[in-house]
Chains A and B, each alone.
Chain A
């Protein structure tokens, strides 16, 4: 059973507009959430993270929002730029556990000119 779900396989957004990527999780033990970005033929790179004690974390054009009661997080990119076209993976982990990060299946973001 998927513990981290990205229900939109792809998303197209006009350049300059806001991109919103969504992620749901089922395991209430998760307390760190991360977003990774992946270009074709490259490994994923860390983008932004959020602890469960926060509901928002911002880094430049990227903001992640966490709604613990809904077990939902979202990544906002504003304004969207052509270089943002990539696959975005949502991931979650539980701190202090000898465990591993659980990834979603990814959302492919297309920024349209």
Chain B
């Protein structure tokens, strides 16, 4: 089974801190994604990557950056955390051409910014 692992389940940070969310997948998937989930807003794409060192902005990239130095690892960076970035963050991976890109998600990181 595909395993997508997010480094933290719960994280509490202060406003202005730099925050790193790490994600690792073990199935050699080319594609990796970062979403955030908020009540009433569903899943919104922050950034995605189709290859090492490649990144593309999603729907809500402001305030975030990403890093993909190795195929299996995709990091989300909050340069200066703000309270409106309190959310559930979900990492996913997929193989392109799987008929609609079936995504495999990690368990999520619930981030609280105080």
Q: Which residues of A contact B (CB under 8 A)?
A: 6, 9, 32-34, 36, 41-46, 49, 51, 89, 91, 93, 95, 98, 100-101, 103-106
Interface size for B (C-beta < 8 A) is 28
Q: Which residues of B contact A106 (CB under 8 A)?
A: 42-43
Interface residues of B in 77-92 (CB under 8 A from A): 90, 92
A46 to B4 Cα, complex, angstroms: 14
Q: Which residues of A contact B108 (CB under 8 A)?
A: 41-43
Number of residue pairs across A and B with beta carbons under 8 Å?
63
A101 to B, closest residue via Cβ:
B101
Interchain CB contact under 8 A, A46 and B103: yes
Interchain CB contact under 8 A, B40 and A9: yes
A33 to B, closest residue via Cβ:
B100
Interchain CB contact under 8 A, A43 and B100: no
Q: Which residues of B contact A105 (CB under 8 A)?
A: 40-42
- Residue interface bits B34-51, CB-to-A below 8 A is 1, else 0: 010000111111001010
Interchain CB contact under 8 A, A49 and B105: no
Interchain CB contact under 8 A, B107 and A49: no
B35 to A, closest residue via Cβ:
A103
Interchain CB contact under 8 A, B43 and A44: yes
Using A41-B108, A89-B43, A106-B42 as known contacts, say yes or no to A101 and B50 having CB atoms under 8 A apart.
no
Q: Which residues of B contact A (CB under 8 A)?
A: 4, 9, 33, 35, 40-45, 48, 50, 56, 58, 90, 92, 97, 99-108, 110
Q: Which residues of B contact A51 (CB under 8 A)?
A: 99-100
Using A41-B107, A43-B108, A44-B90 as known contacts, say yes or no to A34 and B43 having CB atoms under 8 A apart.
no
Q: Which residues of A contact B101 (CB under 8 A)?
A: 32, 93, 101
Interchain CB contact under 8 A, A95 and B42: no
B96 to A, closest residue via Cβ:
A98
Complex partner residue of B103 from A6, A95, A101, A104, CB under 8 angstroms: A101
A29 to nearest B CB, angstroms? 13
Using A89-B42, A105-B42 as known contacts, say yes or no to A95 and B100 having CB atoms under 8 A apart.
yes
A95 to B, closest residue via Cβ:
B100
Interchain CB contact under 8 A, B42 and A104: yes
Q: Which residues of A contact B104 (CB under 8 A)?
A: 46
